[in-house]
Each structure stands twice: as C-alpha cells, then as structure tokens.
Amino acid sequence: MRFKLLPMAVLLGAALAAPLALAQKKYDPGASDTEIKVGNTMPYSGPASAYGTIGRAVAAYIKKVNDEGGVNGRKINFITVDDGYSPPKTVEMARKLVEQDQVLLLWGTLGTPSNSAIQKYMNMKKVPQLHVYTGATKWNDPQNFPWTMGWQPSYQAEARIYAQHLLKTKPGAKVAILYQNDDYGKDYLKGFHDGLGDKAATMIVKEVSYETSDPTVDSQVAQLQASGADVFFNITTPKFAAQAIRKAYDLGWKPLQYLNSVSGSIGSVLTPAGLDKSVGIISTQYLKDPKDPAWQDDKGMNEWRAFMKKYYPEGDLTDVFNVSGYGAAQTLIQVLKQCGDNLTHENVMKQAANLKNFELNVLLPGIKINTSPTDFAPIESEQLARFDGKEWVRFGEIIGK
C-alpha cells in the first residue's frame, strides 16, 4: 500500500546509511586527521607563578605522547598561554584560544577566579572547559554548566573530612584557623564550618586571614596561639604553609594540625619548614608524594621519574605539583582516546563524563576516577595521612566515592 512505501524507503535508507555514518569521522574546529588542538591558560607569571610548573609538566607529557605516536594517530597541539592569574587576561586568552586558534577544548585552566570569569562564555560557546585546575566545589554542576568539569577533589569535601575526623577524635577541642583571603581559602573555610555543623560556633575560637602580598604570617600565627586553641587548621599555600608550620613550632605551640593538601608536599613545604617541626601534621592525599619513602621503588613513580628526567629535566623532582600535572594530563589523553574518530566538542564532554574506574599510577592505590552525566567530579576519594617526620603514614580507609 502506498502510505507504507515512504516510511519503508526512509527506514531502508537509514539502515543503509547508519553504518556509514558510524564509520565516518566527525570533527569540530580544532580536530583533524592529524591533529587535536588543546588550549590552556596558566599563571606563568604573577603571584601564583609557583603553579606554572604544572603547565610545563603537562606540556612535557604531551610531547612524550606525541613522540610515541599521539592519540589514535593524531598529534596533540597543546597551546598554553600565560594569564598571570588575572581574570580579565584569562577572558582575553580564552577568547583567543577558542575564536582565533579554534581549539577543540580548553583544558586544565588554573585558578578559581580565572575559571569563574570564563565559565559562562565557555558554556555559551559550547566548548568544553575540561579538568579545570582548582578544587572549588562549583565545577560539579552538570545541570547548569554542562560544559565545565573539574578534576581534583573539592576543597570543601576535604575540609569536611578534617571536620569529621576532629569530631570523632577530639570533640571538645578549640580550633584556630589561618586562611588565605581568597576563593581557595574561603572554600576550605566553608567546608570546615559545614563539616562541624552547629558545633562550629563553639569549637572555632579564632579565624585569621592573610594576603599573598604579606611578607610573613608570623603575626597571624602568634594571634592564633594567643587564642588558646589546641587544634590548628592551616589553610595556606606552600610558601606560607612552611612559614606557619615553622612559626608555630618556634612559638612553642603544639596543636593538632590539619594541613590542606595543596601544601602537603614534603619537598616544597615540610622540608623548608623543618621535618622535625612537622611531626604529627594531618593532611589528606590522593597523589603519591615524590619525597615519600613509601614510593621510592614504586613502579608508577619510577615511570614518572624517568619521564621527568627525559622530558622535563629542569622540573623539581620533589614537587608534588609535577606529579599532579602528569596525572591530569593522563586523564586528558584517556578522554581523547575514548573519543576515537568522533572529535567534536560534544563527544569530548560525553567521554569525559564516561570514565569508569580509570586508574592512574600516580594516584594512591585504591583511588579511581569515575564520572557520569550526573557526576562531574572525576576524583572524589582521598585518604587521611599523618606525617611522622619522614613520610606520610596513611590511616583509615579511603573516604569518598
């Protein structure tokens, strides 16, 4: 009958075309048969320039991948630019990368204010803002910002872990907090308050901030000691963490100290502060610390060391930032691998939200990366650890998914 002929023809045509469509390559601007363009901004200059080494480690890793044949036969063109940790500059550079360089995705852009500034733009342009390098909690919001995804465990989640631990082990304690007066510091602060719940008001006896332009935090630490607290939550970036740990010890103050994981590096923080002055500090970990004797003969870390020697020899072998960049870059490569020949903006996000039990050899054993369309937080697990003067001794189980 006549009316059945047309739909039949369509069905037949679709059935014949479908396998052809599947085998076809799909490219958005930034991808081709030979190349995938990935854009990135990093603070190579300015107050946050210590993080610039992450960008260099990533660039080195991508060179290694390219040397070994690239991803699915394509070389990765990693275009990284300096934004000096200044949001207007990040906006300008993001526009350049997306509109002028026509990258397939923006990846690993560092800094909470920098990423806040471009979040709306990236989502409007429908270009992925993938694995943003900040622990702010707001990146896990697939409902409102389907093109933005973080990578590292959120700061608030980490602070809640400390709060839970404190409530369990020392419920009557008095807490003093030192925090950096910016997004990062305030995010940790909020998480800690939330974690303590209604006991926050009675337990927290002093909160003191500092600016990155302050030469030292000695005055702040003295204030905290004077409050009579016996617990110290240390929310500081590496340079100031080293100063705070040392000053607390020198003042004769021996509180139970929680140190945020950003400054957990034995080489860049605890050694300058003084290993003997850092005994007893509690932090969380998700990456293997290069100075930790436990990973001296670890296969994964030795691969990392070999990589550093060959591709990033001027990089610091004691700096956990370089491990972090290496691990994050591996996650990018996995996402791109999973895209196969379908290299569109949309598929990049789809694959990024489709990582199942992905393991990195620089993550602590037992920590896996998992994402889904409703779960835009790749790494959510961490483990508490206590420093014993030589290494981080992990205790308890792995917390988080």
Partner 1 sequence: MSRRGLILLLVVLALACALPFVFSSYRVFQLTLAMIYAIALLGLNMLTGYNGQISLGHGAFYAIGAYCAAILMDKYGVPYWATIPVAGAVCLLSGFLFGLPALRLEGLYLALATFALGVSLPQLLKYKGIEHWTGGVQGIVIAKPDPPFGLPLSQDQWLYFFVLLVLLAMFVLGWNLLRGRIGRALVAIRDHPIASEAMGVNSALVKSLAFGVSAMYTGIAGALGAIAVQFVAPDSFNIFLSITFLVGIVVGGLASIPGAIFGGLFIQFVPNIADEISKAAPWAIFGIFLIGFMYLMPMGIAGAIRLGLARLARGVQNGSREAAP
Partner 2 sequence: MEGFLHQVLSGLATGGIYASVALALVMIYQATHLVNFAQGELAMFCTYLAWSLVQAGAPYWVAFFLTVAIAFTLGVVIERVVIRPVEGAPVLSVVVVFIGLLVILNSVTGWIFTYTIKTFPSPFPKEIGLGSYMSPHEVGSIGVTLIVLLLIYAFFRYTPLGLAMRAAAQNPESSRLVGIRVGGMLALGWGLAAAVGSVAGMMVAPIVFLDPNMMAGILLYAFAAALVGGIDNPAGAVFGGFLVGVLENVVGAYVVGNDLKLTVALVLIIGVLVVRPSGFFGKRLVTRV
Summarize as ranges the residues that interact with partner 2 (CB under 8 A).
45, 47, 49-50, 52-53, 181, 208-216, 218-220, 222-223, 225-226, 238-239, 242-243, 250-252, 268, 271-272, 314-316, 319
Return the residue of 29, 70, 113, 272 that touches partner 1, per CB under 8 A. 113
Cα 1 to Cα 7: distance, rounded to the nearest angstrom: 11
Q: In the bound complex, what is the minimum distance in angstroms from residue 95's beta carbon to partner 1?
A: 5
Return the residue of 33, 67, 194, 211 that touches partner 1, per CB under 8 A. 211
Partner in contact with 220, chosen from partner 2, partner 1, none, beta carbon below 5 to 8 Å by kind: partner 2
The single-letter code of the amino acid at 141 is: D
Say if CB 37 and CB 30 are below 8 A apart: yes
Q: In the bound complex, what is the minimum distance in angstroms from residue 277's beta carbon to partner 2?
A: 12
Burial of 215 (0-12, 13-18, 19+ CB in 10 A): exposed
CB of 182 or CB of 218, closer to partner 1: 182
Longest distance between any two alpha carbons in the chain, whole Å: 95
Cα 216 versus chain centre, distance = 27
CB of 67 or CB of 211, closer to partner 2: 211
CB of 95 or CB of 254, closer to partner 1: 95
Which candidate, 150, 162, 212, 220, places its Cα nearest to that of 192? Answer: 162
Cα 279 to Cα 384: distance, rounded to the nearest angstrom: 15
Q: In the bound complex, what is the minimum distance in angstroms from residue 100's beta carbon to partner 1?
A: 5
Q: In the bound complex, what is the minimum distance in angstroms from residue 337's beta carbon to partner 2?
A: 32
The single-letter code of the amino acid at 77 is: N
Q: In the bound complex, what is the minimum distance in angstroms from residue 219's beta carbon to partner 2?
A: 4
Return the residue of 33, 67, 69, 88 that touches partner 1, per CB under 8 A. 88
Which candidate, 143, 98, 142, places its Cα nearest to that of 118? Answer: 98
Which candidate, 397, 384, 386, places its Cα nearest to that of 159? Answer: 384
Candidate segments 33-41, 176-184, 369-377, 389-397, binder of partner 1 by CB under 8 A? 176-184
Partner in contact with 215, chosen from partner 2, partner 1, none, beta carbon below 5 to 8 Å by kind: partner 2
* HSE (side-chain half, CA atoms, 13 Å) at 182: 17
Per CB under 8 A, 117 contacts partner 1: yes
In three-state form (DSSP H/G/I as H, E/B as E, the rest C), the secondary structure along 111-130 is CHHHHHHHHHHHHHHCCCEE
What six digits make up the tokens of 394?
A: 């992990």
Per CB under 8 A, 373 contacts partner 1: no
CB of 237 or CB of 265, closer to partner 1: 237
Q: In the bound complex, what is the minimum distance in angstroms from residue 136's beta carbon to partner 2?
A: 21
Say if CB 236 and CB 228 are below 8 A apart: no
Burial of 15 (0-12, 13-18, 19+ CB in 10 A): exposed
CB of 237 or CB of 383, closer to partner 2: 237
| Stretch (H or E) spanning 244 | helix 238-250
Instruction: Return the residues of window 185-204 that contact partner 1 according to CB under 8 A.
Output: 185-186
Binding site for partner 1 (CB under 8 A): 44-47, 81-82, 85-88, 91-92, 95-96, 99-100, 113, 116-117, 119-121, 181-183, 185-186, 211, 213
